[in-house]
Amino acid sequence: MSNPSAAMLVIGDEILSGRTRDSNMHYLAGELTKIGIDLKEARFIADDHVTIMETVKSLSAVHDQVFTSGGIGPTHDDITAEAVAAAFETSISIRADARAILQAHYDRQGVELNEARLRMARIPKEANLIDNPISAAPGFSLKNVHVMAGVPSICQAMIASVLPSLTGGAPLLSQTLRLERGEGDIAEPLSKLANLFSDVLIGSYPFQKDGNYGTNIVLRSTDEHRISQAKQQLKKLLDL
Amino acid sequence: MSNPSAAMLVIGDEILSGRTRDSNMHYLAGELTKIGIDLKEARFIADDHVTIMETVKSLSAVHDQVFTSGGIGPTHDDITAEAVAAAFETSISIRADARAILQAHYDRQGVELNEARLRMARIPKEANLIDNPISAAPGFSLKNVHVMAGVPSICQAMIASVLPSLTGGAPLLSQTLRLERGEGDIAEPLSKLANLFSDVLIGSYPFQKDGNYGTNIVLRSTDEHRISQAKQQLKKLLDL
């Protein structure tokens, strides 16, 4: 049985212009691997209503879980919630539960819950709120789409809120063999190994650092025993 | 007249599993912005022949330029060149020009140009080679698709080899106004500004650092004068 599949959708002009470097995808990738959900693809798109809507629709149809980050703040360029609602043809408005969370948060701070901040209470009708322990304004899950903030600390907190509710598969385990040899020297034995162990994912990652070069061979499988067998076989093939 | 559009395709299981954090997309994004090519989307996909082929086909049809990184080394999991050739239904084989580059490089190093290393001379028939000043093995451009290495230093060198040959548009300029106020406080004036300056891109990026919070407002346009006008107007709206 294969693991559930997932896609990540990172939304924001600032990332595509090179102003900001995204870190949410890398973080989510690591967390999903731990619980046995396979991140199959990630997409980075601009703050554009139609693009967000269509991308959410197509990813949601293909994958078991979809995660978005970015575009759920109080300003004019925060249009993700509207676009996700449109993708599922569901209505969106200021919801009492989300409003209460914001009201309590801003009351504690002595800050007015003005019209702009109230936009963050706009949640699609059938969505479940995602807890935001950092700045209160919630994300939401609508069907299999989990809509989260772009600010890394908030996104990470929301990922922690969502993941326990999802059914994972067998976590992908890995072992790494670090070799002080170039890829060109080990490609042939590696290819032999791949033929012998078609059930183990075998990745080859060259590195070049401080004048040293070499290759990290990463063996991945849900079966620890098979990884160890493959590692042993690889050492034999490399005369180690 | 709008700028040429581009897409980035990052290929590699190691990035989707969270093992490696990509840096090529962020680098390319910044370089493209400088020369007036708009990065419209980026996709991260696994080392899978059909997925690479179909994604290249669809991105190439929609965008003026497509850049790929990853999967052009000598090992069994390096399948990008084959998949890009398949996307354009063109033949691929060991090419004399690429072979000569590799032969000279490995001769200098006193290293054998074995069968695995020779795989890096497999280049589609009509492709132009992309210079690799770091480790010799070339990338290639086939139609509007530029196929580059995944190792960041090599990818950056290849980007430098490719970009001068492309026709850019008007570079996107930007000015940033840093405010010690939360997004919720400035959303309304910002929305007014967006209505007044529909030709200026207005982005709002909250930050939270060392107990301080605030918002960076970034104004972007190809017209420096319009940016300055918008900035002045924004200061007025904010009583600065």
Taking the C-alpha atoms of residue B72 and residue B119, their distance in angstroms, rounded to an integer, is 9
Backbone angles phi, psi at B144, to 5 degrees: -100, 20
The 10s digit of each residue's pLDDT in B48-89 is: 999 999 999 999 999 999 999 999 999 988 999 999 999 999
Nearest to A216 by CA among A189, A190, A180, A187: A180
Residue range A8-31, pLDDT digits in tens:
999 999 999 999 999 999 999 999
A204 and B111 within 8 Å at the Cβ level: the answer is no
pLDDT at residue B91, rounded to an integer? 97
Which amino acid is it at A140?
Answer: F
The three-class DSSP label of residue A8 is strand
Q: Which residues of B touch A51 (CB under 8 A)?
A: 41
Question: CA–CA distance from A169 to each of A34, A146, A161 (Å)?
Answer: 10, 19, 18
Q: SS3 for B112?
A: coil
Domain residue spans of chain B = 5-165, 173-237
Residue of A43, A184, A206 lying closest to B151 (CB–CB): A206
Which residue from B minimizes the CA distance to A5? B16
- Tens of pLDDT along A35-88? 999 999 999 999 999 999 999 999 999 999 999 999 999 998 899 999 999 999
User: What's the pLDDT band for B182 if we cut at 50, 70, 90?
Assistant: confident
Q: Is the pLDDT of residue B167 over 90?
A: no
Report chain A residues whose CB lies below 8 A from the CB of B29: 15-18
Phi, psi for B222 (deg, rounded to 5): -85, -5
User: Which candidate from B32, B41, B203 shows the least CB-CB separation from A44?
Assistant: B41
Nearest chain B residue to A118, by CA = B184
Q: How far apart are CA B95 and CA A156, in angstroms?
A: 47
> What are the DSSP E strand ranges found in chain B?
5-11, 38-45, 65-69, 92-94, 122-124, 128-130, 139-142, 145-148, 173-179, 201-209, 212-221
- % of chain B surpassing 70 pLDDT: 99
What's the rounded Cα separation, in Å, for the pair A17 and B232? 23
Across chain B, what does the average pLDDT equal?
94
pLDDT tens column, A145-190 = 999 999 999 999 999 999 999 988 888 888 999 999 988 899 999 9
- How far is B143 from chain A, CA to nearest CA, in Å? 23
pLDDT digits (tens, 9 = 90+) for B127-137: 999 999 888 99
**Inter-chain residue contact B76 with A202, CB threshold 8 Å:** yes
**Cβ contact, residue pair B184, A117, below 8 Å:** yes
Specify the 3-state DSSP secondary structure of B151: coil
- DSSP structure class, residue B238: T
Closest chain A C-alpha to B166 CA, distance in angstroms: 18
By CA distance, what is B48's nearest residue in A?
Answer: A40
According to CATH, what is the number of the domain A173-237? 3.30.70.2860
> Is B109 or B82 the better-scoring residue by pLDDT?
B82
Distance CA A6, CA B222 (A): 37
pLDDT at A2: 82
What's the pLDDT at B240?
86
Task: List, for residues B2-29, the tens digit of each pLDDT value.
Answer: 899 999 999 999 999 999 999 999 999 9
pLDDT band at residue B1 using 50, 70 and 90 as cut-offs: low
The residue behind tokens 């996104």 is A155
The pLDDT, as a whole number, for residue A170 is 85
Q: What is the CATH number of domain B5-165?
A: 3.40.980.10
Q: Do B151 and A208 touch (CB under 8 A)?
A: yes
pLDDT at res. B171:
85
Nearest CA in chain A to B202: A77
- The reply to whether residue A29 touches residue B15, judged by beta carbons under 8 angstroms, is yes
Token pair, residue B56, equals 């290249």
Query: pTM to 2 decimals?
Result: 0.90
Q: Is the Cβ pair B26, A22 closer than 8 Å?
A: yes
Q: What phi and psi, each to the nearest 5 degrees, are found at residue B68?
A: -115, 150
A124-155 tens-digit pLDDT: 999 999 999 888 999 999 999 999 999 999 99
Residue B211, pLDDT above cutoff 80: no
pLDDT confidence of B172, banded at 50, 70, 90? confident
φ, ψ at B156 (rounded to 5°): -65, -40
pLDDT greater than 80 at residue B208: no
Residue B128 CA, chain-centre distance (Å), reads 19
Residue of A20, A23, A44 to mutate for B, most B C-beta atoms under 10 A? A44
Q: What are the phi and psi torsion angles at B20 (to 5°)? A: -120, 140
Average pLDDT, chain A: 94
pLDDT tens, position by position, B24-57: 999 999 999 999 999 999 999 999 999 999 999 9
Residue A173 CB burial class (10 angstroms; 0-12, 13-18, ≥19): middle
Q: Give residue A1's pLDDT.
A: 59
On whether the CB atoms of residues B94 and B115 are closer than 8 A, the answer is no
Give the one of B13, B20, B187 whose C-beta lies nearest to A201's C-beta: B13
Element (H, E) at A45: strand A38-45
Closest chain B residue by Cα to residue A39? B16
Please give the ipTM for the structure prediction.
Answer: 0.90
